[in-house]
Amino acid sequence: MSELHQHLLQMVQYLPSDFEPYGRRDRDDDWGPDCSCGCKYFLPLEGQLGMDWGVCADPASPRAGLLTFEHQGCKAFEADEAED
């Protein structure tokens, strides 16, 4: 893991609605896709960071407007139909 990636993990906001270990949501008990599964509201950062990091643009999401690691997840996921 790069030094910059580690730095972003230290400064990103963690919410209870995020999947463990970032929040309190258990993937087994409350399964759902995360941003890495193609959420249409996940706007990737430029360059290499865009492989893992972006900003949530979904006004219905608790992560709206926040820097987001692709595996944090939220219940407001909506598939990007253009990726099919």
Which tokens is 30 given?
């409350």
Joined together, the tokens standing for residue 28 give 């087994």
pTM for the model stands at 0.85
Residues in contact with 10: Cβ distance below 8 Å, sequence separation at least 6, in sequence order: none
The three-state secondary structure class of 49 is helix
Domain around 43: 3-83
Grouping H, G, I as helix, E, B as strand and the rest as coil, residue 44 is: strand
What's the structural domain count of the chain? 1
Average pLDDT over residues 6-34: 92
Q: Is the pLDDT of residue 72 over 70?
A: yes
Residue 32 pLDDT > 90, yes or no?
no
Q: Cα–chain-centroid distance for residue 8?
A: 13
